[in-house]
Amino acid sequence: MKILNNKPFDAVIIGSGAGAGPVIYELTRAGFNVLVLEKGPWYRTKDFRKDELTATRREVYVPNLKDEYHVLTYTDDWGDQVSQTTRDLAWSFWNGNMVGGSSNLMSGYFQRMKPVDFKLLSVYGEIPGADIVDWPITYDDLEPYYTKVEQVIGISGKVVPHKFQEPRSTPGFPYPPLEENIVSSFIDRAARKLGFEVTPTPRAILSEEKDGRKSCYYSHYCGSYGCASDAKGSSRVALIHDALRTGNLSVITNAHVYHLETDGHYKIKQAWFITPDGKKFAATGKIFVVAAQAVESVRLLLLSKNKEFPKGLANNNGLVGKNILFSSGGIGEGEFHLDEFDRKTAQAIRKPGVFVNRTLQSFYEVKHPVSGKPIKGGIVDFLFEHANPVSKALKLKWENDTLLTGKDLKEKIHAYFTRIRKLKFEIFTDWLPHKGSFVTLSRKKDYRGFPVADIHIDGHPLQLVPARIIARETERLFKEMGLKNIRSTVSHSPPSNLQAGGIRFGDDPKTSVLNRWCRAHEVENLFVTDGSFMPTGGSVPYTWTIYANSFRVADYMLKYLR
């Protein structure tokens, strides 16, 4: 074991994704000396290729599940609690271990949370069995930082007023909308006929060049892939590259932080990490920022138990790991049969690369089907089926429980790729925090000998109510558009790439782990700036809110360090 530095860094940051990037950016630009400890490697832009085998069918950007996995615990259809490893399930809960984290691989759907999302308890009241609380801050507190993300990260879009439009301090986005497929106009026309409000979807993808980053070149391969033009607003290219130019940033890659050591007086003095060759080092700092994504951030605090914190760092109230959040909702799809269109329209529908970029906004509040009372709803984003040809082809090998081979399989694949284009929708509603959704440490260990996270993923039964309503209404939209083979499903199965909660912030140390500045109540120099701080998640993807809050907390850190 070796102490890395004699003079403490001003800040030691664990992780480098959306929760870490704004802190790295602001502290280094203000002249503070920052160390980043990143568990994964450092991929450069030239390393990102539009290769399906690399990006989605191999464990290249995430740890190999044979070595590092999680445990998933859930209640099965018979009411029994079952625990299985993600290794056995082949279901990874890693989302991008590299400099910039999973922000390198995101699709960049960026919607702001709305004012109601910050006060669900006040607006809608208690939900039986759920641990709903209001945020300690309001939308107005975060709005300037949403705007800052638009400008610094770079968001392309167009503001169109609608019933649930969140207040803005600027009239529009800094970059115009990305190029759209003709299908977007089909959605607009059908929505007008049904009286639905559909808006262009803001994307953290540049439609024009910015600070040496090139604009989107419409490769047709976006989500799950790294960006070869730096148009995507990852923490790596939008924030860390600028931080490096200050000369105040040090980055150690392949550094797995496994313990935060306190000084006996409720402050952290050093972070212990291990390298791939098994060597252990400690880095000392004035403040420590944890931003390893929700599950792994919880795991690190629980692993960092000691005499002062026998249940885990900052966990004397037992709340670290409680109320983990994912995103609730569902998915659906329908098919355009191209032989039903004229040649020019069919070619426009098939045009690859350009985006759908539409969000259904009409159902952010819905009525409960039994009580008739208003309940929180959500949004719907529209997108084409993923471009990946291998995964598409694999889905076609079965026909009525018969395995197709040879000529029959070839003809089916050819017809699918040339005569059909599939449009999908994703429903985002609130994952309700409750006692069945939490993270703790398992008795099972990874290849280094550290206990892995045990993720309890049961969903609250009431969270599917709004999702079912929205799915039914979205199917109506698809029917109006003339799509074929329309189907949808809502499910408690959590999307592993949308993690939040587990280290909740609040004003009361008895009911939260962090204060409103995301500093631990019990540990003066510990901050958590990934999505872990969120007590509720809203009905939108989390990344924009994580970015915005990290900028907000960075402003406080600057005052604290000074």
The verdict on pTM exceeding 0.75 is: yes
Give pLDDT, residue 265: 84
Q: Tell whether 250 and 140 lie within a shared domain.
A: yes
Provide mean pLDDT across the span 81-88: 96
Cβ(18)–Cβ(231) under 8 Å?
A: no
Q: Tell whether 415 and 559 lie within a shared domain.
A: no
- Name the residue range of residue 420's domain: 159-201+328-430+460-493
Residue 215 lies in a domain: no
Question: Rounded distance, CA 276 to CA 279, Å?
Answer: 7
How many angstroms from the chain centroid is the CA of residue 443? 27
Q: In angstroms, how far apart are the furthest CA atoms of the chain?
A: 75
Provide mean pLDDT across the span 528-553: 98
Question: Rounded distance, CA 250 to CA 11, Å?
Answer: 11
Q: Tell whether 148 and 263 lie within a shared domain.
A: yes
Residue 435 lies in a domain: no
Q: Tell whether 374 and 387 lie within a shared domain.
A: yes
Q: Tell whether 139 and 25 lie within a shared domain.
A: yes
Give pLDDT, residue 79: 87
Considering Cα of 317, then 322, then 325, then 330, what sign does the dihedral take? Answer: negative
Residue 305 lies in a domain: yes
Q: Tell whether 300 and 320 lie within a shared domain.
A: yes
List, for residues 8-27, the tens digit of each pLDDT value. Answer: 999 999 999 999 999 999 99
Closest CA to 335 of 354, 356, 349: 349
For the domain that residue 2 is a member of, what is the CATH number? 3.50.50.60
Provide mean pLDDT across the span 400-419: 92
Question: Rounded distance, CA 416 to CA 431, Å?
Answer: 35
Question: Rounded distance, CA 297 to CA 293, Å?
Answer: 6
Q: Is the pLDDT of residue 54 over 90?
A: no
Strands 198-200 and 358-360: antiparallel
Burial of 141 (0-12, 13-18, 19+ CB in 10 A): middle
Closest CA to 380 of 367, 369, 364, 366: 364
Cβ(99)–Cβ(253) under 8 Å?
A: yes
Domain count, the chain: 2
Residue 353: how many CB atoms within 10 A of its CB?
A: 16
Q: Tell whether 264 and 177 lie within a shared domain.
A: no
Q: Fill in the DSSP letter of residue 364.
A: S
SS (H, E, C) 365-380: EEECCCCCCEEECEEE
Q: Tell whether 319 and 348 lie within a shared domain.
A: no
Burial of 15 (0-12, 13-18, 19+ CB in 10 A): buried
Cβ(136)–Cβ(516) under 8 Å?
A: yes
Closest CA to 251 of 498, 35, 528, 21: 35
Q: What percent of the chain has pLDDT over 90?
A: 95
Q: What percent of the chain has pLDDT over 70?
A: 100
Considering Cα of 465, then 467, then 469, then 471, what sign does the dihedral take? Answer: negative
- The per-residue pLDDT of the chain, averaged, comes to 96
Q: Fill in the DSSP letter of residue 213.
A: B
Provide mean pLDDT across the span 473-494: 97
Provide mean pLDDT across the span 48-65: 89
Show which of 469, 493, 517 is a domain's final residue. 493
Which residue blocks in 195-342 are alpha helix, DSSP H? Answer: 235, 241-245, 294-303
Residues 6+ apart with CB under 8 A from 51: none
Cβ(465)–Cβ(448) under 8 Å?
A: no
Which residues, listed in sequence order, are joined to residue 282 by a DSSP beta bridge?
3, 272
Residues 6+ apart with CB under 8 A from 64: none
Residue 176 lies in a domain: yes
Residue 225 lies in a domain: no
Considering Cα of 41, then 47, then 53, then 56, what sign does the dihedral take? Answer: positive
Provide mean pLDDT across the span 455-481: 97
Give pLDDT, residue 3: 76
DSSP string, 225-266: S--SSS-B--HIIIIIHHHHHTT-EEEE-S-EEEEEEE-SSS
Provide mean pLDDT across the span 62-71: 96
Q: Tell whether 346 and 403 lie within a shared domain.
A: yes
Q: Tell whether 135 and 18 lie within a shared domain.
A: yes
Closest CA to 231 of 253, 243, 215: 215
CA R_g for the chain: 23
Provide mean pLDDT across the span 363-370: 96
Closest CA to 526 of 309, 234, 208: 309
List, for residues 213-228, the tens digit of each pLDDT value. Answer: 999 999 999 999 999 9
Show which of 444, 470, 493 is a domain's final residue. 493
Q: Is the pLDDT of residue 1 over 70?
A: no
List, for residues 100-132, the tens digit of each pLDDT value. Answer: 999 999 999 999 999 999 999 999 999 999 999
Burial of 422 (0-12, 13-18, 19+ CB in 10 A): middle
Helix (H) or strand (E) holding 54: helix 52-56
Q: Is the pLDDT of residue 264 over 90?
A: no
Q: Tell whether 181 and 296 lie within a shared domain.
A: no
Show which of 493, 510, 544 is a domain's final residue. 493
Cβ(439)–Cβ(349) under 8 Å?
A: no
Residue 61 lies in a domain: no
Cβ(61)–Cβ(24) under 8 Å?
A: no
Residue 78 lies in a domain: no
Residues 6+ apart with CB under 8 A from 472: none
List, for residues 135-171, the tens digit of each pLDDT value. Answer: 999 999 999 999 999 999 999 999 999 999 999 999 9
Q: Tell whether 305 and 375 lie within a shared domain.
A: no
Provide mean pLDDT across the span 420-434: 97
Closest CA to 505 of 520, 493, 484: 520
Residue 19 lies in a domain: yes
